[in-house]
Each structure stands twice: as C-alpha cells, then as structure tokens.
Amino acid sequence: MTDKIAIGIDLGTSTSCVGVMWQGHPRLIPNEAGAVIHSSVVSFLEDGTVLVGNPAKQRLVTNPETTVASAKRLIGRFYFAEEVEKAKRSAAYNIVEGLDYSVHIELGEKRYSIPEISALILREMKRIACVALKREVNDAVITVPAYFNDKQRQDTRDAGRIAGLNVLRIINEPTAAALAYGFGRKLHQKVAVYDLGGGTFDISILEIGDDVFEVLGTAGDTFLGGDDFDARVLGFLAELFQRNHSFDPLEFRTSYAALRALAEWGKQQLATAQSVEMRMPAVYADAKGKTYGIAATLDQAAFRELTFDLIQRTFQVCDEALRSAGLQTSDLDGVILVGGPTPPFQWF
C-alpha cells in the first residue's frame, strides 16, 4: 500500500459502505462487528450521544422523532420542492425551512442541515476505514446518483468537508459500478447499469473499450427507490390493520414507524421466499394499555401487483436513457444490476 491512499464511499439513501483498493482489487471495509453494509440512519440520544448506522436504525421504531433516515432524498433540495412535501408527510421528525429556502431537520431545540446529517454518516465511514486500516485517511471519492444536479453534488461535497474529508472527486454511481465490472478486463461492450437504490433510480448506458469508459446516455429518477416499495407494503399492512381495528395506524408516529419496519423486513424476505408471514403483536397501545397487533401474509405475486407501476417507471427511465444514447435494447451486450432493492427473482 502506498503512503497516501484514498477511500471510496457509497453514500446511499438506505445503506452506505466504504471501500479501498487493496492489492489491485476493490475491497469493502468492515466495521468492528464485521459488517460492510451500514444503514444510512442517524439517531440523537437525550444525553447528546449520536448513533450512526445499524444501531441507529434499531431506534427507528422506538424513537422515530429523533432518528433520521433517507436524508439523501432531501440533499440539495429547496424547501418548497415536491419531494420535501412528500418527506414532511411521512417523517416523524420536523422538517423546517432554513436560509435561502434550504431544508433543515428540527430535533428538539436543535436544527441540522441535510449536509450536516449526511456528514455524520460520512464521518462514520471514515472512522471505520481508519480503524480497519490502522491509519488516518482523509482523501475520499464519493458516489452520487447520475441524475444529481449541481446543487445536490455540491451539498454532497460540503457534507464530505464537514466530515473532515478531502473529497477528491464526486463520481456517478453507475459509472462506479461499470468500473467495478469491467476495469482491467479489456472488454469491448455496450452495457446498461440498472441502479435501483433505496431512494434513487439511475440507468446509464456505457461503452467499454480497453479500460476506457464512455457514458453514452443516462437518465434517472431521484425520488424512486426501495423506500417506495416499502411504502406500498406499508399501505397494504395499514389497510389490513384499519380493517381489523377500525382506526388508521398511520396517524400515530410510533405505529407508523413499527409498520414501516415490518414492511421493509417483509419485502426483504420476498427476495428469496415465495411468500412471507408478517406478524407484530403490538403495533399500537392505547391509553389503557390495550395493544393492537397485525398478522398478514404477502406472496411475490401480490407484491408484484402492489409495485407494478414502480417497475414501469424504471422502464420509462430506461427508454429515456436509450434514446439519449441513440441505441436500442438489441445493441446492448449486457445489463449490470446494482442496488439493494434490485430483486433476484423474475418480475414477469
């Protein structure tokens, strides 16, 4: 390893990871528990402690008002944007307006900008790298969705600076995936990188030739991802709950958070199972201490029906990218599937 190294950070909507080139190959860096995938969640405790990653995600159900997830969906947004309005309707914490129509998150008496929240995640990725590599690391490359605009990219760079990183470059996520796929293999191919992440979807068409990667076309939707699939399962659960108990659980922040976590878990199980049984005995407790639970079964066919229009939205974006590249699907040599929500089972 050379004296000066740089780490690569995938700052994701749902999860993040950090890697380094090791003996000529990219390697993800694990934390002390051995995990290489870390939840992009930040939770603020009453004593001033800030939890980041998987421990913070565990508090989404018990402490939703002080736990922030999917902040990436708000980075670079103006307060009046439609995406911010969507987030305000579902977030358990307060989303407020800052200077110059910026977006801030209000937690108790403190306010945080979105770059400040993202910086906490980036700082944790840096810490993991420094501990594992047993050295101080300051230089980093950070990936962003291909369709991020200049403001979103600049806010990501600012988040890196706040985290104490020297951001060498902001690189598009599909380009990074194509590099991981083809660099050093001397390929001559046209490939599509289908990147369905937790909060964003990108499709990029690249031509690979002798380790030269040329982007022919790109398109994306910065408000389409795994969170939306979770929301569909959440709606399914909420409708069943209301039918059984005659009140809407989504009107209460704690029951909303509990069902949201159950929905995400159920969706993940369907990646490898034909059906999943989702049970939670205490979704809501009333003033008298009476608890209300839920038990529901969801199979892959029903899940496809719930999310069919979301998949169609990705195909529309794919068509847009192909048109911008001047290509048809028959011109492609392959498709690289990227992103946690990308399903391993057949949709159609």
**Coil vs helix vs strand at 296:** strand
Taking CA atoms, 172 is separated from 11, 81, 176, 187, in Å, by: 11, 23, 6, 20
pLDDT at 257 over 70: yes
Determine the average pLDDT of the residues in 192-212: 87
State the first-to-last Cα distance of the chain, in angstroms, to the nearest integer: 47
pLDDT at 145 over 70: yes
Looking at residue 53, its pLDDT comes to: 94
List, in sequence order, every residue forming a beta bridge with 277; answer none if it has no partner. Answer: 297
Shared domain for 135 and 253, answered yes or no, is no
Q: Measure the CA–CA gap between 143 and 12, rounded to whole angstroms.
A: 9
Shared domain for 160 and 53, answered yes or no, is yes
Looking at residue 185, its pLDDT comes to: 78
Shared domain for 218 and 267, answered yes or no, is yes
Count other C-beta atoms under 10 Å from residue 316's C-beta: 10
Q: Measure the CA–CA gap between 44 and 3, rounded to whole angstroms.
A: 36
Catalytic residues: 10, 72, 173, 195
Q: Measure the CA–CA gap between 104 and 116, rounded to whole angstroms.
A: 9
Last residue of a domain, one of 131, 149, 172: 172
Shared domain for 139 and 11, answered yes or no, is yes
- Give domain status of residue 92, yes or no: no
Shared domain for 68 and 193, answered yes or no, is no
Looking at residue 347, its pLDDT comes to: 35
Last residue of a domain, one of 132, 148, 172: 172
**Number of folded domains that form the chain:** 2
Looking at residue 135, its pLDDT comes to: 94
Burial class (CB in 10 A: 0-12, 13-18, 19+), 265: middle
- Give domain status of residue 53, yes or no: yes
Q: Read off the pTM.
A: 0.82
- Give domain status of residue 286, yes or no: yes
DSSP string, 106-146: EETTEEEEHHHHHHHHHHHHHHHHHHHHTS---EEEEEE-T
pLDDT at 9 over 90: yes
DSSP string, 160-217: HHHTT-EEEEEEEHHHHHHHHHHTTTT-EEEEEEEEE-SS-EEEEEEEEETTEEEEEE
Determine the average pLDDT of the residues in 324-347: 80
Looking at residue 151, its pLDDT comes to: 96
Looking at residue 295, its pLDDT comes to: 97
pLDDT at 339 over 50: yes
Looking at residue 348, its pLDDT comes to: 31
- Give domain status of residue 235, yes or no: yes
Count other C-beta atoms under 10 Å from residue 340's C-beta: 16
Q: Measure the CA–CA gap between 252 and 330, rounded to whole angstroms.
A: 50
Q: Quick one: pLDDT band at residue 343, thresholds 50, 70, 90?
A: low
Tens digit of pLDDT for each residue in 276-323? Answer: 999 999 999 998 999 999 999 999 999 999 999 999 999 999 999 999
Shared domain for 206 and 166, answered yes or no, is no
Looking at residue 173, its pLDDT comes to: 86
Domain at 233, CATH number: 3.90.640.10
Shared domain for 126 and 64, answered yes or no, is yes
Shared domain for 167 and 194, answered yes or no, is no
Q: Quick one: pLDDT band at residue 18, thresholds 50, 70, 90?
A: very high
Shared domain for 196 and 332, answered yes or no, is yes
Q: Quick one: pLDDT band at residue 61, thresholds 50, 70, 90?
A: confident
- Give domain status of residue 115, yes or no: no
133: region left, alpha or beta (phi > 0 left; psi from -120 to 50 alpha): alpha
Q: Quick one: pLDDT band at residue 168, thresholds 50, 70, 90?
A: very high
Looking at residue 3, its pLDDT comes to: 64
Determine the average pLDDT of the residues in 9-29: 90
Determine the average pLDDT of the residues in 166-173: 93
Shared domain for 29 and 137, answered yes or no, is yes
> Which is nearest to 143 in space by CA: 252, 58, 19?
19
Shared domain for 130 and 206, answered yes or no, is no
Q: Quick one: pLDDT band at residue 1, thresholds 50, 70, 90?
A: very low
- Give domain status of residue 33, yes or no: yes
Count other C-beta atoms under 10 Å from residue 31's C-beta: 19
Tens digit of pLDDT for each residue in 80-138? Answer: 998 899 888 878 889 999 999 999 999 988 999 999 999 999 999 999 999 999 999 99
Shared domain for 209 and 270, answered yes or no, is yes
- Give domain status of residue 107, yes or no: no
Residue 328: domain span:
186-348
Tens digit of pLDDT for each residue in 234-249? Answer: 999 999 999 999 999 9
Across all residues in the chain, what is the average pLDDT? 91
Domain at 21, CATH number: 3.30.420.40
- Give domain status of residue 102, yes or no: no
